[in-house]
Amino acid sequence: MKIIDLRSDTVTHPTEAMRRAMFEAEVGDDVFGEDPTVNRLEVMAAQKMGKEAALFTASGTMSNLIAVLTHTNHGNEIILGNGAHIFLNEVGGVAALGGVVTCIIPNDTNGQLSLDSIEKAIRGKNIHYPVTTLLCLENTHNRCGGAVLTPEYTSSAAQLAHQHGLKFHLDGARIFNASIALGVPVTELTKDVDSVSFCLSKGLSAPIGSLLCGNKEFIERARKRRKMLGGGMRQAGVIAAAGIVAMETMIDRLAEDHTNARRLADGLVRIPDIRLGQEKVMTNILMFDLARTFSSIQFLNKLTASGVKILSLGGNSFRAVTHRMVNAGDIDFALNKIEAACRELK
């Protein structure tokens, strides 16, 4: 049976070229800094992000955790949006392993935190308070339907953070989607942040990996934290090789995923039982809600049985993500099945 998997862009498989590069990769012991392929990937990543250095890690979660561990001390406070992946979906690692307090403020629908709310959340000097040391933002914003933070907003948030002595970490798991959607070089979105993480294994289709980028001194300390977390890998060139192909060949095509996401949204709004959960579809993620006339579980099961997978966000909310392994025809197929499921469940 044909399966259209719209749960996430993480379901993408490595391409032929990636598999070949993995097979042929020149390798060494990366804990000794001797894997030429990892070293090449880290140099490429740092250049792409406009930073001095980069660190290859196993996942976006690991990059974010290392960033927080490197920017903070135990007992510090960090500022996050209530929709932040670091807050919602990273197992509380920053609190459990970093010993930091999280100050959560509301994300607006654009994935932003208002500058006013950030400023109010920064602690003053007081014997009773933890010290606020880090602001974390996310671009594109997963929970806000792939919303994009602009260079102007990012610069203003950075200016505010730095003015108060905070560092600024950007969770840029899908930063290339943001750059493509806005039509600006990725460095415009990263130039003012102290660190940025991005993923190879989402829309870029590599099987594994993420990069944390920042200045040399930061990355040197981050490398030690990665080792502490058990993330020092040996002949990791085997996986870094796929990451190099991903960065060389998979960025520009993300525009297709954005077009397909808009195609999906245009079809969904024509189905009476569906309400889009966002005003604009800017990148490859879209949220929608089901009118409460039938059970969400039945809907999900029916859809899965007909070959279309989407992600439940709880209640009657769902997420669909476009990626390299679904084309415009697949989107139309999915729309037909969604429409049929709604019709048959009534």
Ligand X SMILES: Cc1ncc(COP(=O)(O)O)c(C=O)c1O
> Is 60 a residue that touches ligand X (CB under 6 A)?
yes
Nearest Cα to Cα of residue 135 among 185, 92, 86: 86
How many helices and strands, by DSSP H and E, does the chain display? Answer: 14, 13
Instruction: Report the residue from 48, 51, 85, 262 that binds ligand X according to the rule CB under 6 A.
Output: 85
Q: How far is the CB of 208 from ligand X (least distance, A)?
A: 8
Q: How far is the CB of 113 from ligand X (least distance, A)?
A: 15
Give phi and psi for 233, each to the nearest 5.
Answer: -105, 155
Q: How far is the CB of 143 from ligand X (least distance, A)?
A: 8
Instruction: Report the residue from 59, 107, 177, 306 that binds ligand X according to the rule CB under 6 A.
Output: 59
Q: From residue 103 to residue 122, what is the string marking binding to ligand X with x (rule CB under 6 A)?
A: --------------------
Q: How far apart are the C-alpha atoms of 6 and 24, rounded to whole Å?
A: 32
> Is 193 a residue that touches ligand X (CB under 6 A)?
no
Q: Closest CB to ligand X among 200 and 290? A: 200
Instruction: Report the residue from 173, 178, 206, 320 that binds ligand X according to the rule CB under 6 A.
Output: 173
Q: How far apart are the C-alpha atoms of 240 and 104, rounded to whole Å?
A: 35
Nearest Cα to Cα of residue 188 among 158, 211, 219, 209: 158
Q: Give the 3-state secondary structure of residue 25.
A: coil
> Is 5 a residue that touches ligand X (CB under 6 A)?
no
Instruction: Report the residue from 12, 37, 61, 179 that binds ligand X according to the rule CB under 6 A.
Output: 61
Q: How far is the CB of 8 from ligand X (least distance, A)?
A: 7
Instruction: Report the residue from 72, 132, 142, 306 that binds ligand X according to the rule CB under 6 A.
Output: 142
Q: Going edge to edge, which strands form the sheet with 167-171? A: 53-57, 210-214, 195-199, 167-171, 132-138, 77-81, 101-105
Q: Closest CB to ligand X among 202 and 302? A: 202
Q: How far is the CB of 206 from ligand X (least distance, A)?
A: 11
Buried b (16+ CB within 10 A) or exposed e, 243-260: bbbbbeebbeebebbbeb
> Is 66 a residue that touches ligand X (CB under 6 A)?
no
> Is 149 a residue that touches ligand X (CB under 6 A)?
no
Binding span for ligand X by CB under 6 A among 59-67, 162-170, 257-265, 290-298: 59-67
DSSP result, 187-236: HHHHTT-SEEEEESSSTT--SS-EEEEE-HHHHHHHHHHHHHTT---SST
Q: Give the 3-state secondary structure of residue 98.
A: coil
8 Å CB contact between 86 and 94: yes
> Is 57 a residue that touches ligand X (CB under 6 A)?
no
* Subset of residues 7 to 46 that bind ligand X, contact rule: CB under 6 A: none
> Is 169 a residue that touches ligand X (CB under 6 A)?
no
Give residues in contact with ligand X (CB under 6 A). Answer: 59-61, 64, 85, 138, 142, 171, 173, 199, 201, 210
